[in-house]
Amino acid sequence: MRASKISPLMLALSLLPAIGDDAAAQASLAGKTVTIYVGFGSGGGYDLYARLLARHMPRHLPGTPSMVVSNMPGAASVRAANYVYSVAPSDGTALGIVAQSIGEEQLLGTPGVSYDVTKFNWIGRFAANVEVSYVWHTSPIKTIEDLKTTEASFAGTGPSSSTYPRLLNSIAGMKWKVVLGYNTSSVAHIAMERGEVDGATSSLNALKTTLADWLSKKMIRVIVQYAPTRSPELSDVPAVVEFGKEPEDIGVLRFYANSGLVGRSVMAPPGLPLERVTMLRKAFADTMQDPQFLAEIKKLNLDFEPMMGAGLQSLIESSTKISNAVLARARAARPN
């Protein structure tokens, strides 16, 4: 029997299901493992959000892959950021959660940085992260204005701990004294309790979770928040930007404060195909509305102020657009 001739149109139509199945198979992460690289050790805030994501995001990814957390501390997250940027696979199986300040590190010329923060594919943000300074209740410092007349010592957990005090000393005539050598916030808090220092610095979320008793019993007084604007939770506490009088002063304070808007965010390597970026951003957005995820956020009392991927990408890109004069001031304020 002679075979009937198939028209080109019929042939194309007959291939559509196969093409669709192949595209779906390529989009699926079935049988794969997605790794979240965290720029800090286990047990901290960044790690906590990463493990929370690993428990819930797989349900929203095609193929329901497994998801694991790999801690990669070192150089204030620069090590992990470099790895995600240059080494991790660009196929949707690698994510990163690193310090909110990695954009600053790039602009400030921190040694070892080999990434371009704008070229990461930003997937979404869990929450902004407002850092605050506070004093022990027995300190003579009642408000930050007292630092204009009275010197006070604050526990420093690293070189960056001196940045805001140096800026406020020069811009607003304050008398901050940073005592370095306290390697963790918990050690700094013990020093504060003992009266070795007047105060310390950490995130607002840390105060609300690990130091909730201190807040409720008024054992500490929050005197400043390092944010572009006041948090609704601290409406009576000044934001650091308020102490800038000249445009350049405001610019340099805002430069440092903007990292808090990046907060606890998730990124993927550069070079991902657009469909993979879209897939990851959608899965993240769906996770942020997942009832099981939200229940755990509430149970853990974690900050939750999500931002979706496209908005976060714009925020990151805009934060790198600063004048040379402001950048020079920012570099000068940073301890060597």
Segment 132-178, tens digit of pLDDT:
999 999 999 999 999 999 999 999 876 667 788 888 998 899 999 99
Query: What are the tens digits of pLDDT across the range 243-258?
Result: 998 888 999 999 888 8
From the list 117, 145, 130, the residue with the least C-alpha distance to 207 is 130
Q: 32-129+263-333 and 131-226 share one CATH topology?
A: yes
183, 213 contact by CB (below 8 A): no
CATH 2.10.109.10 is right for the domain spanning 32-129+263-333 = no
The domain limits of the chain are 32-129+263-333, 131-226
CA angle 46, 27, 307 (to 5 degrees): 35
- pTM for the full model? 0.81
The structure tokens 């140096």 sit at: 166
Residue 21 has pLDDT above 50, yes or no: no
* Average pLDDT of the residues in 310-335: 88
Q: How confident is the model at residue 329 (pLDDT cuts 50, 70, 90)?
A: confident
* Average pLDDT of the residues in 189-211: 89
Out of 14-23, 152-161, 176-185, 201-210, which region has the weakest mean confidence (pLDDT)?
14-23
Bridging pattern class, strands 176-180 and 121-127: unpaired
The CATH classification of domain 131-226, taken from the options 1.10.260.40, 3.40.50.1100, 1.20.1250.20, 3.40.190.10: 3.40.190.10
